[in-house]
């Protein structure tokens, strides 16, 4: 059976990366690994390692993304929880067999990683991303 | 300078522990360490280890708690992010000196741990808990 290994990241929707860094970097003293425009997410993301996980600050660069809609409807805050798994394909098959509602029934493949989202209605209101390094 | 060590836990507000376990335990295959009534939080909490961190499912047992109000206003979802630090007292002094708005200016002491909350207005909408094992 596929296994959840760790929290890969907690994604936080922010309206402004610099403003958010004023707290996460300057306030808490966390080190920012890098800030990068991620075209596939239509967002600028600040990657901040915290132990074996990361906090990711996500600022949408287009209005038609999930993060932009979340910001418009709920304001800034935690957007999704990403769990790293050892076999995402097997996990998705198992979840589907259990009747868990998925946003992505097969994993999206990107260089070095595969990812898929579980529907928040299946996860008690939490948008859960599954992630596997490849 | 005090240091953030890791994500201690992500707390998820749920209306019903058994229903939530249907996803986190039965769906994802995570093992539940234990489920406990926590009188100081007026909540029942399911502790679910994920790597070096935990997912905590929090079901309020009274209407006058932050989690109960969160559930009533926003529905179930991620409620707060808890960061483990090596010296919570020093961290609170530093944050206060930097003008970061705190809910608890001094740490609450409980057996084996100290904890304090940072105001979500200081942390871009995220309720951040600081935590130190003692």
Contacts of residue A50 in chain B, CB cutoff 8 Å?
A: 4, 6-7, 83
Q: Do A77 and B50 lie within an 8 Å CB cutoff?
A: no
Shortest distance, CA A39 to any CA of chain B (angstroms): 23
List, run by run, the mean pLDDT of 10-residue segments along chain A (134 residues): 96 96 97 94 96 98 94 95 98 97 96 96 95 95
ipTM for the complex? 0.96
- pLDDT tens digits for range B14-70: 999 999 999 999 999 999 999 999 988 899 999 999 999 999 999 999 999 999 999
Between the CA of residue B125 and those of A77, B61, B118, what are the distances in Å? 5, 25, 11
DSSP A82-129: EEEES-HHHHHHHHHHTT--BS-SSPEEETTEEEEEE-TTTTTT--EE
Q: What is the 3-state secondary structure (H, E, C) of B13-30?
A: ECCCHHHHHHHHCCCCCC
- Domain architecture of chain B: domains with CATH: 4-133 (3.10.180.10)
Residue of chain A nearest B24, judged by CA positions: A123
The C-alpha of B12 sits at a distance from chain A's nearest C-alpha, in angstroms, of: 8
B contacts of A125 (beta carbons < 8 Å): 12, 75-77
- The string of pLDDT tens digits covering residues B74-116 is 999 999 999 999 999 999 999 999 999 999 999 999 889 999 9
């Amino acid at each position: 059976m596929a296994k959840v290994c760790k929290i890969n990241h907690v994604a936080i929707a922010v309206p402004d990366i610099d403003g958010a860094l004023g707290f996460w970097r300057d306030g808490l003293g966390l080190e920012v690994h890098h800030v990068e425009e991620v075209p596939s997410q239509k967002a600028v993301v600040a990657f901040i390692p915290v132990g074996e996980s990361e906090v990711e600050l996500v600022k949408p660069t287009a209005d038609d993304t999930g993060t932009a809609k979340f910001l418009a409807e709920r304001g800034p805050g935690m957007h999704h929880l990403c769990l790293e798994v050892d076999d995402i394909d097997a996990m998705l098959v198992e979840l589907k067999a259990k009747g868990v509602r998925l946003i992505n029934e097969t994993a999206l493949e990107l260089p070095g990683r595969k990812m898929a989202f579980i529907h928040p209605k299946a996860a008690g209101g939490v948008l859960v991303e599954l992630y596997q390094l490849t």
